[in-house]
Structure 1
Amino acid sequence: MTSTAASVPFSGPFAIGTLSAPGGARFPGLVAPDGRVLDLCTALGEPTLTTLVLLERWDEQLPLLRTLVEDPAGDWQPLADLAVHAPLEPRQIFQSGANYRQHVIDLGVAHRAPDDPRTVEEARAEIAAIMDKRAAEDLPYVFIGLPTAISGPYDDVVLPAWAEKPDWELELAAVISRPAYRVTVEQALDHVAGYTIANDLTDRATVFRRDMPPIGTDWLRCKNAPGFTPLGPWIVPAGSVADPSDLQVTLKLNGKTMQDESTKDMIFDVARIVSYISQTARLLPGDLVLTGSPAGNGIHWGRLLRDGDVMDGSITGLGAQRTRCVAQEAAAVGAPVDPIAVK
């Protein structure tokens, strides 16, 4: 898809993207705020360079990138002539769930059983108390996503024929540069190269296993359909983001604002999530850490995604993405009825 929506500004003197000319190969690009792009494969003399390799050498390359963006004599291309893809192909994706206070309260109320004796006010107060306890115990909730779910920031999103309740979840995503294992909260942000935008789509109908409720949540099924995580457009260096805990996350559906919340509402900030993950797993350069989605999802509004919907997502200083929903034909998947959801 073309970069017609890619002119939304970002913070700082440059960002990193993955782009391509018509009919050409993808390349990591140095993107200037005025709409110029420098092919880093050419500029650095490395024809096989990828964004992932760049992140592996982030500490070494960052000063050079700052120099390159100030060189007007470089072989710059107009952004408008290029296609914009997901900024990187991550090795691992770590996703933080239930991390926005208001969002968790809204979901808890929406998912109450029909015979729940509590009033809405009582339910909200009880869920809020649980959130306070989680924060005090310093235990984020993190699960794993698949790289194959990643798609570009302007690609169409295919809604699977079996997905009864596809929903949006716009999120701030941290991009890892240095390997991180058992790092402290104070050390955690030293391992973050920058930030980008992720829309972590979820089919609400398959979040919980209907065939065997004690199993609980099924994140593979509800979140990892191909293209269910539009990413980007840019990786904005961490040094250009003043405070990741004070950014506005906004999603519009067909022009109507549905999510519009500050990352201040996060229960666990980026440093606490990265540190928590690293106590168990080894974070690697190019990994994504999604930080959860704020209030205003479709399940809250009673309006889920359908064919033809257009989502516009933006986060302060990180640019914006625009994706159109396209229904998958039932015949294309061979079995239009989901075998687990009907049980």
Structure 2
Amino acid sequence: MKPYALGTFSHERDSRKFVGLVMDDQVADLAILAKLYDAPALADAGSVLALLDAWDTHRAALDRLALAIDVKTEHWYARDALRVHPAIDLPRQVFCTGANYRKHVVDMTVDAKVGPPGLDEAALRRWAENMMDERAATGEPYAFTKPVSTVSGAYDPLVLPNTTTQPDWELELAVVIGRSGYQIPRELAMSYVAGYCIVNDISARDLIPRTDYKMLGTDWLRSKGQPGFLPLGPYFVPKAFVVDPHRLKMRLSVSGKVMQDESTADMLFGIERQIEYISRYSRLLPGDIICTGSPAGNGTHYNRYLQAGDVIEAEIEGLGRQRQTCV
């Protein structure tokens, strides 16, 4: 089986979006390939979401097509020659699993000095580490939703809104759902996964707590729901080409300085557990994405937030790269 990815693209001279088959960092219009190589099951799929609506059928057709094609024909374009839109344009639902990386939560606890009184920094860190180990053993994921209107392309500018003074980055592995399901058991969870892509869960840190009425707790709408706060892509990579999603290297830099350099192995709750938990309360639909949490190294840790002119570069092993300029 030849590896491939999928995305949503357009030519600079033509605003029409098309589903692109990506091989060796070259892109071709899937509809054109479907006609050339007699793949009728793919000919009418006008979006990546449409492919995901019948993913098992379309995946088999894509596998056959990838084996047959030649990337040296005139129908292929360099990715840099195209405009890159959100890989899934657009998902139906976006779920996020918060506080899901062990070191990230430990660092936040130490940085905020939240814990039993009288502990020095080393003792507070040990307390936080023990708390995370206990949570992983006996606790549950913490999930919330994010508006689909936050989704943007992997190379689109990130417009920093005037509503926040602390815009922050959160590189995350996104799970793409390929089958509808409700109350999915953990042992079957991975059969609902179509593949993976990169997201950056941009967050306004100063807008997370509600200070007007503290019993309300966190406000995810205003802190994570603003336009452009979820760059998605550049590609959607089918799960067959990701050997172990729990062992992927992740790296994010801001204006040339590495801020996050971790692995998905630091997740507290794995993908199966997240799918089981979210689907206990919400029906998952084809094209949904689950943002699985962000590793250590956010702006809160460095007391450094995004500013106009900053360039964010992010990558996850095997899933491509993102690049946003803050304006």
User: If the length of structure 2 is used for normalisation, what is the TM-score?
Assistant: 0.92
Determine the C-alpha separation between the residues in 2 that align with 1:168 and 1:112. 22
Determine the C-alpha separation between the residues in 1 that align with 2:234 and 2:156. 11
**What is residue 16 of structure 1 aligned with on the other side?**
6
SS in 1 for 2:8: strand
Q: What is the 5 A alignment of 1:1-343?
A: 13-22=3-12, 23-40=14-31, 43=34, 44=40, 46=43, 49-70=46-67, 71-72=69-70, 76-78=75-77, 79-88=79-88, 89-112=90-113, 117-326=118-327
Label 1:48 to 1:269 Cα distance change in 2 as closer, same or farther (>3 A).
closer
Instruction: Please report how far the alpha carbon of residue 64 of structure 1 lies from its aligned counterpart in structure 2 after TM superposition.
Output: 1.2
Determine the C-alpha separation between the residues in 1 that align with 2:25 and 2:235. 14
Q: Which amino acid aligns with 1:267?
A: L
SS in 2 for 1:211: coil
Instruction: Please report how far the alpha carbon of residue 116 of structure 1 lies from its aligned counterpart in structure 2 after TM superposition.
Output: 5.4
Moved more, 66-75 or 179-188: 66-75
On the 8 A contact 1:134/1:140 being kept in 2, the answer is no
Q: Deviations over 1:51-78 (max 9, x none)?
A: 1110011100112112222312877220
Instruction: Please report how far the alpha carbon of residue 113 of structure 1 lies from its aligned counterpart in structure 2 after TM superposition.
Output: 6.3
Q: Which amino acid aligns with 2:219?
A: D
Determine the C-alpha separation between the residues in 2 that align with 1:115 and 1:94. 32
Instruction: Please report how far the alpha carbon of residue 46 of structure 1 lies from its aligned counterpart in structure 2 after TM superposition.
Output: 4.3
Root-mean-square deviation (CA, aligned residues, Å) is: 2.0
Q: Which amino acid aligns with 2:87?
A: P
Moved more, 159-168 or 27-36: 27-36
Q: Deviations over 1:126-161 (max 9, x none)?
A: 222221222112401101111000100000001111
Determine the C-alpha separation between the residues in 1 that align with 2:181 and 2:200. 25
Determine the C-alpha separation between the residues in 2 that align with 1:297 and 1:174. 21
User: If the length of structure 1 is used for normalisation, what is the TM-score?
Assistant: 0.87
The count of corresponding residues between Structure 1 and Structure 2 is 316
Unaligned runs of 5+ in 2: 35-39
SS in 2 for 1:279: helix
SS in 2 for 1:242: coil
Determine the C-alpha separation between the residues in 2 that align with 1:25 and 1:116. 60
Determine the C-alpha separation between the residues in 2 that align with 1:57 and 1:230. 25
Using the aligned pairs only, state the percent identity: 44
**What is residue 337 of structure 1 aligned with on the other side?**
none
**What is residue 37 of structure 2 aligned with on the other side?**
none
Determine the C-alpha separation between the residues in 2 that align with 1:254 and 1:185. 40
On the 8 A contact 2:18/2:29 being kept in 1, the answer is no
Determine the C-alpha separation between the residues in 1 that align with 2:174 and 2:147. 15
SS in 2 for 1:239: helix
Q: Deviations over 1:80-134 (max 9, x none)?
A: 3211111111111110000000000111122236995432222222222221222
Unaligned runs of 5+ in 1: 1-10, 327-343
Determine the C-alpha separation between the residues in 2 that align with 1:138 and 1:28. 40
Instruction: Please report how far the alpha carbon of residue 212 of structure 1 lies from its aligned counterpart in structure 2 after TM superposition.
Output: 1.2
Determine the C-alpha separation between the residues in 2 that align with 1:246 and 1:12. 22
Determine the C-alpha separation between the residues in 1 that align with 2:25 and 2:116. 57
Determine the C-alpha separation between the residues in 2 that align with 1:176 and 1:259. 26
SS in 1 for 2:61: helix
On the 8 A contact 1:39/1:76 being kept in 2, the answer is no
On the 8 A contact 1:35/1:80 being kept in 2, the answer is no
Moved more, 72-81 or 29-38: 72-81
Q: Which amino acid aligns with 1:58?
A: W
